[in-house]
């Protein structure tokens, strides 16, 4: 697997993706250390994978929103 030089554009970095996992949800759950690949293969089903990915997505969104709220100038 090759990665480029990590170009940073005007809006955001050109993030690398998990191309060999077949699912962004799978990469997100493993990267967040919510479940291991072994657990996802043996314990959890596909519905569990997407529920865990939803937890990550909602938590990340709420953290970003809290950060924006805390850094408002009108507070």
For every residue of 4-67, DSSP letters joined together read ----B-SSSB-----TTSS-HHHHHHHHTTSS-HHHHHHT--HHHHHHHHHHHHHHHHHHHHHH
| pLDDT for residue 1 is more than 70 | no
pTM of the model: 0.73
Q: What is the pLDDT of residues 20-48, one digit of tens each?
A: 777 789 999 999 999 999 999 999 999 99
CA distance 72 to 65: 11
């Amino acid at each position: 697997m090759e990665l480029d030089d990590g170009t940073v554009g005007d809006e955001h970095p050109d993030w690398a993706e998990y191309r060999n996992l077949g699912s962004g949800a799978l990469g997100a759950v493993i990267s967040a250390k919510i479940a291991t690949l072994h657990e996802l293969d043996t314990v959890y089903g596909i519905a569990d994978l997407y529920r865990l990915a939803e937890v990550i997505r909602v938590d990340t969104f709420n953290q970003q929103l809290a950060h924006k709220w805390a850094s408002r100038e009108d507070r």
